Amino acid sequence: MPTLADRLLDPSGGQLPQELRILFGHFVLSHALDEQMDHCQVASALTKPERKLMMHLGVPRRMGQLAEDLNTQPSTVTAVADQLEAKGMVLRERDPDDRRAWQLRLTEAGQAARSDLIERIVAQFRELSGLSPDEMTQLATLMDRVAERILQNGLPKGFTL
C-alpha cells in the first residue's frame, strides 16, 4: 500500500524507495518543527534568529564561527548578539585563544532560556512525531549511526559540533 510520501511525491501510484521516504519524513519533520519554533516563546520572548543563535551557544563560540554555522553574514550575527546582549542573555568576551576575536557566552539567564527552549523543542518533537519512548530510542540510535558514518570523513561544509 502506498505511503503518504508515495501519494504526495508520486501520484501515479508507484512506491518510492525507502531512502526517499526517510528523506521525505526528515524534511516534513524539520519544517514542522521550524513552524512550531515560530510559535515557541521562552520566558524572555526571543525572536526566531535569537533562538537559533542561542541553540548554537551550548559553549562559548566565536562570532565568525556562528555566522558560518548559521549560514549568515557576520553583521547579522553581530545584530542578533546586540539584541541578546541587551536582553541580558549573552556576554561578548575576547577569545582566549585569539585576543583579536570576539566570542559569545551565555549568561545565567541565557542558559536558563536555552534550557527552556530545549525542553520545549523536545516536547514538540515528541508531540509531532508521535513515537513511543522505545521508538524514540530506536530512531536516536539509528540517527547516531548515520551521523557517525557521515562524520568519519570529517564535518560537512558549514557544519560544526
Question: Greater confidence, 51 or 86?
Answer: 86
Residue 154 φ/ψ region, left for φ over 0, alpha for ψ in the -120 to 50 degree band, beta for the rest: left
Contacts of 18 (CB under 8 A, 6+ apart): none
pTM for this prediction: 0.74
pLDDT, tens digit (0-9, with 9 covering 90-100), for 102-157: 899 999 999 999 999 889 888 888 988 899 999 999 999 999 998 888 888 876 66
